[in-house]
Amino acid sequence: MQRVILAGMVGLVFGAGITISGMINPAKVLNFFDVAGTWDPSLAFVMGAALLVTAIGYRLVLKRPAPLLDETFHLPRNRAIDGPLVAGSALFGIGWGITGFCPGGAIPALGLGSPEALIFVAAMVGGIALTRAARNHVQTRTRNA
């Protein structure tokens, strides 16, 4: 229960950061990427500050043998730089550029009651579910072949 409540509080901090920084606002995000037009460099400050805090914080935290509420740190094990990584990231960038929404910006935007955020998130959830189903299908076929 403690794990769940604390995760909710961390989510609140994350969402507050997204809200205060302007990442919640698709118009602002699109202007950040419009370097040839109405460029708003604000989001470089978001990324810069987030990276600085995380890099320093991780350095201290990951020195410990384990997190406070779990037995181990769950760090990504996949180290491959492969086609899916590059193609997937390129697709994500295209969708981000079309809409101004990324997952971390769109989820908090649901709290504003925005129908646009709701439509985007519904479509994104569909995309996630479809891709996972397709991948499982391919993996099962490969295993059975």
Task: Determine the Cα–Cα distance for residues 14 and 114; give it in Å rounded to an integer.
Answer: 19
50 or 140, CB closer to other proteins? 50
Least Å distance, CB 113 to other proteins, is 9
84 or 140, CB closer to other proteins? 84
Tell me the H-state helices in the chain. Answer: 2-21, 26-33, 42-61, 83-99, 103-109, 115-144
* Inter-residue contact 25 to 18 (CB < 8 Å): no
Least Å distance, CB 77 to other proteins, is 11
15 or 145, CB closer to other proteins? 15
The terminus-to-terminus CA distance of the chain in angstroms comes to 44
Task: Determine the Cα–Cα distance for residues 34 and 40; give it in Å rounded to an integer.
Answer: 8
72 or 144, CB closer to other proteins? 72
Task: Determine the Cα–Cα distance for residues 96 and 89; give it in Å rounded to an integer.
Answer: 10
Least Å distance, CB 44 to other proteins, is 8
Least Å distance, CB 118 to other proteins, is 9
